[in-house]
Amino acid sequence: MIQLNLQLQQKQFIVAPKFHGARAAALRSLPEVSRVTFGLQAKPISRLFLYRAKDNSDIISQLELGKPEEKRKAEKRVNGIFWILLINIGIYVADHVFQVPLTKGLYLYHNQPSWYQFITSTFCHFNWSHLSSNLFFLYIFGKLVEEEEGNFALWLSYILTGAGANLVSWLVLPRNAVSIGASGAVFGLFAISVLVKMSWDWRKILEVLILGQFVVEKVMEAAQASARLGGSFRGGGYAMQNVNHIAHLSGALIGVVLIWLLSSVPTPTDEK
């Protein structure tokens, strides 16, 4: 009668170190496993062999799973800019399509503003031409800022540059003016996206000059198109501010100051 004997080949180890702490506890927790035989005496397999096999398999699995994980980390998911775009579109639809009366309370009235109007007015627009131009540039520069600095930095930049531009406008413009639009935030995000990737390479400088003049030209065209229809929003002593150059300039300057302040904050690596 032929007896089948399944033998497990054990690898020889040059050094059998003593484990301490967590490794020793994990080694003791491994059960004694016997090799399978038919009618023969079973011999236990060393715990050390099982622990080393488990340890090596974990390392291999981590190396195999690490490659796609690194690829996934390289592709940053952007969500914040799409929420900003949706809020702008939603408020425009509520204001101009469904004509919800509450949306007029989101405008910035210079004679007696509420604190929240400095922020909410950056999501309001006078007409579709005004909105579509801002949406285009918000997507381009907002996406760049979010990819480089993250979701929180995008929201912080949008709110600070937009509200800061409205604050400067409120201080300078007449008290019967009304300010709405995301143009101040657009110029602020443009300045931030440029400075984040800025270098003294002549190709980068040329790219900034070409893109910058295009942004200024298109935003001004949209603002002037809105200005031609600006007379329709009058009443109660208010006049819609036609082309708010102060908001454009102040939004860009606030973006520059924001980047300067953040760059002056020491990081943990700098302290070391």
Q: Are strands 177-179 and 238-240 parallel, antiparallel or unpaired?
A: parallel
Please state at what angle helix 202-228 crosses helix 183-196, rounded to 10 degrees: 180
Grade residue 34 by pLDDT with cuts at 50, 70 and 90. Answer: very low
Query: In sequence order, what E strands does the chain have?
Result: 108-109, 177-179, 234-235, 238-240
For residues 82 and 97, the answer to whether their CB atoms sit within 8 Å is no
Mean pLDDT of the chain: 74
- How confident is the model at residue 162, as a pLDDT? 96
> CA-based angle 62:64:66, to the nearest 5?
65
Query: pLDDT higher for 218 or 59?
Result: 218
Active site residues: 183, 248
pLDDT digits (tens, 9 = 90+) for 146-198: 998 999 999 999 999 999 999 999 999 899 999 999 999 999 998 898 888 77
pLDDT digits (tens, 9 = 90+) for 167-178: 999 999 899 999
pTM of the entire predicted model: 0.65
**Which three-class secondary structure state does DSSP give residue 44?**
strand
